[in-house]
């Protein structure tokens, strides 16, 4: 009877070990040259360290609540989805406070285990390092920086210098799409048409006041995003709101003469009857 019990226990132990071996430990890799998009949350934190803050969006607008990592892990994490929280890191570079915020999407597993959190978007804000404001205020004061300084402020920003790199402008931002596309990026896309297009790393540069007719590297931005876009998808579905333009980081764009000064029209003088 003891032998039978030992055989049964050994059988159950073997089943447990087999199930553990079948459960793969996912070790994601960044899908693009930025080194962030596609990383799991543990991999991101191993790369950058523990986040300085964890923030959650208060409303549809860009207003956030900031929490300590301890408060998030021990209190809020069980009350909210992990996709509602963003890991926040702050660096001082070239006299500018550079704030990174990492958004996540869930990667569900077929075995029903807890989903992985994968970095799906990186937001970088430029703030005044000398302003008397806390790092965790709901709305921070932006510090506009010229696009020519972005490589020093954001080392992961490596834009294509090719004049035919897909580039688009919308109302308040421009999109710089980087080649080549990555098939692995489809796992981070929520669109139903994700399998119909090739997806690439894109840099979205924002200016709260809009960009001039001709964009130059001396123009300023207040924040940027590392995102994923498809040139074909934009041309087919967003052509009304997204206008194609020359890559401002290309040599051709740099060699263009400055735009002509707008013609100033005088105030018309009223005509009076003689």
Q: Which pTM value belongs to this model?
A: 0.81
Q: Is residue 21 in some structural domain?
A: no
Helix (H, G, I), strand (E, B) or coil at 174: strand
Q: Is residue 76 in some structural domain?
A: yes
pLDDT in tens, 18-29: 333 333 334 457
Residue pointed to by tokens 């005509």: 271
Residues spanned by the domain of 213: 26-255
pLDDT in tens, 160-195: 999 999 999 988 899 999 999 999 999 899 888 899
Q: Would you call 257 exposed, middle or buried from its count of C-beta atoms within 10 A (0-12, 13-18, 19+)?
A: exposed
At residue 242 the predicted structure's pLDDT band, cuts being 50, 70 and 90, is very high
Peptide linkage before 180 cis (omega within 30 of 0): yes
Q: Would you call 170 exposed, middle or buried from its count of C-beta atoms within 10 A (0-12, 13-18, 19+)?
A: middle
The domain tally of the chain equals: 1
Q: Is residue 6 in some structural domain?
A: no
Q: Is residue 177 in some structural domain?
A: yes
- pLDDT in the model for residue 8: 42
Q: Is residue 266 in some structural domain?
A: no
User: b vs e for 35-46, b when ≥16 Cβ sit within 10 Å of the residue's Cβ?
Assistant: bbbbbbbebbbe
Q: Is residue 273 in some structural domain?
A: no
**Angle formed at CA 84 by CA 79 and CA 86, multiple of 5 degrees:** 115
Q: Give dist(CA 87, CA 55) in Å, integer.
A: 7
- pLDDT in the model for residue 10: 42
Q: Give dist(CA 208, CA 171) in Å, integer.
A: 9
Sign of CA pseudo-dihedral 154, 157, 162, 164: negative
Contact between residue 183 and residue 196 where contact means Cβ atoms under 8 Å apart: no
Task: Please list, in sequence order, all residues whose beta carbon lies within 8 angstroms of the beta carbon of residue 15, skipping any fewer than 6 positions away.
Answer: none
Q: Give dist(CA 70, CA 23) in Å, integer.
A: 29
Q: Give dist(CA 207, CA 44) in Å, integer.
A: 28
pLDDT, averaged across the chain: 84
Alpha carbons within 13 angstroms on the beta-carbon side of residue 3 total 0
State the virtual CA torsion across 81, 85, 87, 90 in degrees, nearest 10.
Answer: -170
pLDDT exceeds 70 at position 16: no
Q: Give dist(CA 49, CA 45) in Å, integer.
A: 5
Q: Is residue 260 in some structural domain?
A: no
Q: Is residue 221 in some structural domain?
A: yes
């Amino acid at each position: 009877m003891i032998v039978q019990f030992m055989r049964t226990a050994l059988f159950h132990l073997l089943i447990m070990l087999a199930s553990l071996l079948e459960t793969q430990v996912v070790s994601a890799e960044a899908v693009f040259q930025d080194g962030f998009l596609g990383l799991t949350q543990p991999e991101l934190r191993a790369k950058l360290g523990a986040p300085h803050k964890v923030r959650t969006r208060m409303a549809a607008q860009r207003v956030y609540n900031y929490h300590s990592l301890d408060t998030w892990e021990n209190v809020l994490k069980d009350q909210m989805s992990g996709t509602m929280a963003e890991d926040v890191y702050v660096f001082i570079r070239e006299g500018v406070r550079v704030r990174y915020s990492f958004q996540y999407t869930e990667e569900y597993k077929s075995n029903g285990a807890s989903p992985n959190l994968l970095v799906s978007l990186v937001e970088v804000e430029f703030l005044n390092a000398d302003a008397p404001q806390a790092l965790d205020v709901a709305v921070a004061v932006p510090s506009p920086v010229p696009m020519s300084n972005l490589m020093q402020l954001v080392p992961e920003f490596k834009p294509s210098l090719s004049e035919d790199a897909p580039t688009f402008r919308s109302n308040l931002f421009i999109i710089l799409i980087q080649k080549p596309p990555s098939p692995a990026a489809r796992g981070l896309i929520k669109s139903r048409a994700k399998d119909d297009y090739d997806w690439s790393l894109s840099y979205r540069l924002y200016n709260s006041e809009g960009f001039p007719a001709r964009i130059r590297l001396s123009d300023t931005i207040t924040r940027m995003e590392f995102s994923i876009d498809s040139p074909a998808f934009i041309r087919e579905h967003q052509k009304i709101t997204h206008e194609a333009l020359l890559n401002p980081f290309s040599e051709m764009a740099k060699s263009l003469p400055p735009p002509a000064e707008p013609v100033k029209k005088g105030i018309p003088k009223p005509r009076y009857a003689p």
